């Protein structure tokens, strides 16, 4: 049974709730909330735009019939992927990842914050490899993003444990 379904505009607030809780918990060392509060309004607008964009595939990750995560893919690039903190360690992210790979026609690519150790461990367990390319994040304080790629022949569907 699929854990993914296409997102609709009605899902934006649930996506934002998941993203905000997980981001504040996992990234507060990178984006201290007293100086760089979670940009909810900007990200809400971005999600609405991406759901409306026919070149972006936006999906929600479901657990027990409720939105428990989000995915956005454009071509073979994983733009966004995250799960609710209540699902961390349950295997939900690994199950979603396996379905996400089916959306790629070739080598997958993504960018992840260099300091997001949890996400980087997860991607590396899934077979993703850092390319060595780095760029600054758009949001202040502009931490470094690291590019990863997943060669089409090296896809893995399940890690030793779920890390996102």
| pLDDT band at residue 161 under the 50/70/90 scheme | very low
**In angstroms, what CA-CA distances link 102 with 42, 67, 110, 116?**
30, 20, 15, 25
| pLDDT band at residue 154 under the 50/70/90 scheme | low
Contact indicator for 106, 140 with CB cutoff of 8 Å: no
How does pLDDT run across 64-98, given as a tens digit for each residue?
Answer: 999 999 999 999 999 999 999 999 999 999 999 99
Residue 163 has a pLDDT of 43
Residue 155 has a pLDDT of 56
Complete domains list, the chain, with CATH: 4-154 (3.40.630.30)
> Of 9-13, 112-116, 129-133, 157-161, which range is least confident?
157-161
Rounded to 5 degrees, φ, ψ at 130 are -65, 140
Answer yes or no: is pLDDT of 5 > 90: yes
> Of 16-25, 28-37, 136-145, 154-163, which range is least confident?
154-163
Region 132-160 average pLDDT: 84
Please provide the distance, in angstroms rounded to a whole number, between the alpha carbons at the two ends of the chain. 20
Residue 18 has a pLDDT of 99
Answer yes or no: is pLDDT of 41 > 70: yes
Contact indicator for 126, 120 with CB cutoff of 8 Å: no
């Amino acid at each position: 049974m699929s854990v993914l379904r296409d997102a609709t505009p009605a899902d934006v607030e649930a996506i934002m709730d998941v993203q905000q809780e997980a981001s504040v918990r996992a990234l507060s060392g990178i984006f201290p909330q007293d100086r760089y509060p979670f940009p909810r309004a900007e990200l809400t607008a971005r999600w609405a735009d991406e759901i409306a964009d026919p070149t972006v595939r936006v999906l929600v990750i479901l657990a027990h019939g409720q939105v428990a995560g989000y995915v956005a893919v454009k071509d073979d690039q994983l733009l966004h992927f995250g799960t609710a903190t209540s699902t961390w360690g349950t295997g939900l992210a690994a199950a979603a990842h396996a379905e996400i790979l089916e959306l790629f026609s070739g080598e997958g690519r993504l960018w992840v914050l260099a300091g997001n150790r949890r996400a980087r461990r997860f991607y590396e367990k899934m077979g993703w490899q850092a390319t060595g390319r780095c760029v600054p994040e758009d949001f202040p304080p502009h931490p470094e993003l690291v590019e990863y790629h997943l060669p089409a022949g090296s896809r893995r569907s399940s890690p030793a444990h779920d890390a996102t």
